[in-house]
């Protein structure tokens, strides 16, 4: 059983696609895609345990810091670039979005939605930086330096002239619930986007 946001992404990756998985973790998504859909490609990761887990399961993984960009990957060399739960930890998420859509025509991105209602309660009513399942760190040691919301990301995509193919809400109690479909920026804990170059 995969993480809920990975289940969703799994459905969005076409059979036989060549993909790049940025921050691929333990390689579970790539392995499942390879076994069931004949998907090929590489994972990039910096976490040592994640890299080991990938190697142990036969997933091709490259130790690579995403802040160094994707310059070693050629234009249009992949069908999709996937990046789960890493956008918010990058030095320049906007530049990475450019890079992703240089390397592939389509990108799948997930990140914690800072405008989730619980986060709003933390900050708006209690006056503290939010700490939650999706944002488990304290403000001083968090790797998440560029937090954003559904609205922020859509705004960035509009500015860059990108097409939003799909948008979904992942993880949390409200997944698939009518409220999160209707008001994702308020009730969606994890934002999932599928974007494409025009």
Partner 1 sequence: MPDSDTLAFADRPAGSVGVVTPHVARFDTPLALACGKVLPAYELIYETYGTLNADRSNAVLICHALSGHHHAAGYHSEEDRKPGWWDAHIGPGKAIDTNRFFVVSLNNLGGCHGSTGPVSHNPDTGRQWGPEFPMVTVSDWVASQARLADHLGIERWAAAVGGSLGGMQVMQWTMTYPERVANAVVIAATPRLSAQNIAFNEVARQAIRSDPEFFDGWYAEHDTVPKRGLKLARMVGHITYLSEDAMGSKFGRDLRSDDLNFGFDVEFQVESYLRYQGDTFSTAFDANTYLLMTKALDYFDPSATQGGDLAKALAPAQCPFLIVSFTTDWRFPPSRSRELVDALIRAGKAVSYANIDSPHGHDAFLLSEPRYDAIFSAFMNRAAGELNLAEVGKDEASEDATSSEETP
Residues in the site for partner 1, rule: CB under 8 A?
40, 42, 48, 51-52, 54-64, 72-74, 77
The least CB distance from residue 30 to partner 1, in Å, is: 12
- d(CA 127, CA 188) in angstroms, rounded, equals 21
The least CB distance from residue 33 to partner 1, in Å, is: 15
Calculate the alpha carbon distances from 187 to 18, 41, 165, 177 in Å: 33, 34, 20, 9
CB–CB of 114/149 below 8 Å? yes
Nearer to partner 1, 64 or 174 (CB): 64
CB–CB of 164/170 below 8 Å? no
Nearer to partner 1, 55 or 121 (CB): 55
Nearer to partner 1, 62 or 186 (CB): 62
Nearer to partner 1, 72 or 198 (CB): 72
The least CB distance from residue 169 to partner 1, in Å, is: 33
The least CB distance from residue 156 to partner 1, in Å, is: 28
- d(CA 34, CA 36) in angstroms, rounded, equals 6
- d(CA 136, CA 99) in angstroms, rounded, equals 28
């Amino acid at each position: 059983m995969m993480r809920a946001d990975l289940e969703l992404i799994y459905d969005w990756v076409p059979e036989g696609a060549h993909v790049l998985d940025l921050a691929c973790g333990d390689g579970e998504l790539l392995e499942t895609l390879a076994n069931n859909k004949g998907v090929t490609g590489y994972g990039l990761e910096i976490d040592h345990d994640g890299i080991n887990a990938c190697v142990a399961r036969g997933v091709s993984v490259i130790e690579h810091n995403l802040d160094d960009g994707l310059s070693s990957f050629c234009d249009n060399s992949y069908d999709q670039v996937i990046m789960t739960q890493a956008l918010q930890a990058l030095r320049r998420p906007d530049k990475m979005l450019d890079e992703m859509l240089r390397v592939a025509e389509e990108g799948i991105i997930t990140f914690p939605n800072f405008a989730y209602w619980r986060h709003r309660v933390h900050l708006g009513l209690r006056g503290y930086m939010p700490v939650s399942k999706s944002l488990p760190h304290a403000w001083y040691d968090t790797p998440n330096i560029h937090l954003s919301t559904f609205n922020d990301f859509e705004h960035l995509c509009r500015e860059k002239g990108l097409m939003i193919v799909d948008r979904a809400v992942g993880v949390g109690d409200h997944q698939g619930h009518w409220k999160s479909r209707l008001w994702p920026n308020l009730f969606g804990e994890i934002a999932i986007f599928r974007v494409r170059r025009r």
